[in-house]
Amino acid sequence: MLAPADLLPEGSQHRLCRRLAHGAPPFRLDRARGGRGRWPVNLDRDDQHAVPPHAASPRRAADGRGGDGSPRRLAPKPLQLCQSYVSRGLLHARPDPGDPRRSLYDPHEVAALAERRHRSRARREVAASTTDWGEPILRSALTRIEGGRFFYRGQDAVRLSEGATLEEAAALLWDLPLPPGPWDLPPVTSAGSPFETGLRAVAREAARPDWAGQPERIAAGAARLLALVAGSVSGGAASTGPAHARPLHAGLAAAWGVGEAGADLLRRALVLCADHELNASAYAARVVASTGASLAACVLAGLAALSGPRHGGLTPLVRALAESEEVRHDPLRAFSARLARGEALPGFGHRLYPQGDPRAGALFAVLPPEGIWAEMIAAAAALTGLRPTIDVALAMLEQRLALPPGAGLAVFATGRTVGWIAHALEQRADGRLIRPRAAYAGV
């Protein structure tokens, strides 16, 4: 909740508002005041009604016309701009409990909006910016991220994770009724880590054409592919079979030797990982789907993208960080040294969630961080104000449940398979080939 005591220094408020009005790039907030850089901003002060440089100047005639006789065009005042942005849903305002005439704004939203306004509107520059957390580039009815929350087809994903299975999340995102189990699966041979085993299993299926026209056949193929990923990352023990038609999370729990409480944690994690809008792996899956490739090929593309250390591959890096000797000895000192060397803190800070990743928060609510995990989270907050992401929660889940090394990433991959399939189906229905152009920058 925003509080008046947390207001930015008045000079900072005024500068931020003027930069927003002028379309200037946002400046870095002064983290020395409080150390976290998450102050609300008051933009309703009277002295912020400054006229931008491109509006009327003192030299213009008093009759409302410029020196050349042309009509004078007054630019909107910062307060009017902010109110306009609120009405269009680009900013969110809260009344100041101490003064009902004032409003409080989230500085992260203001800075992000200022950055977007600063970008050139040239067509090529706008197109180039879309690949780097920029403007939306396609329409999707799958997942919406807004206000620190995310929704699967309009349903709050965190709330859904409290009781739904991954299969139920799949039926929602695919907009298809799932076929009843058991699902027939090919034999799976364990090969290295759980993730590597899943990658190899899907690769063997990728060349098979499976785009059937009937919804029931599409649903059967998608369900079979999801079960293949779940079965392969567990070494085949999680696969449903004639003797036991059980939920996928229960199969994973049995394969990894965790009890009922652990199975419920896996269920929640799987649902929370099911989709996350147009991330790198989802986009990779959509590109492949647009070519008409098989559903397994789309999932294979998603798995390949997920393996990178700037995506799902971050999860094993977080586990390694937590087990490093310097971090276990003194997390605050170790994190401070990393930052001094210009290194990032893997698993902390998400550009879509400046106030904290709701997926991590949902898992921490039922599995509170303890020991080194609590110390790492506290150290990151004290030094940077950054909060843990889903990668930290999955790494902690892997360690606390004594799962096989790499199981956290395997859970991520199994859950996200639902989203890759959903994106592939949606892109396939769109019917267009994704084929962007490149601006040649060579000699």
339-347 own/partner pairs: CB under 8 Å, 24+ apart = 339/383, 339/384, 345/321, 345/380, 345/384, 345/386, 346/309, 346/314, 346/317, 346/318, 346/321, 346/391, 347/314, 347/315, 347/317, 347/318, 347/321, 347/388, 347/389, 347/391, 347/392, 347/395
End-to-end CA gap in the chain? 54
The residues carrying an active-site annotation are: 311, 350, 391
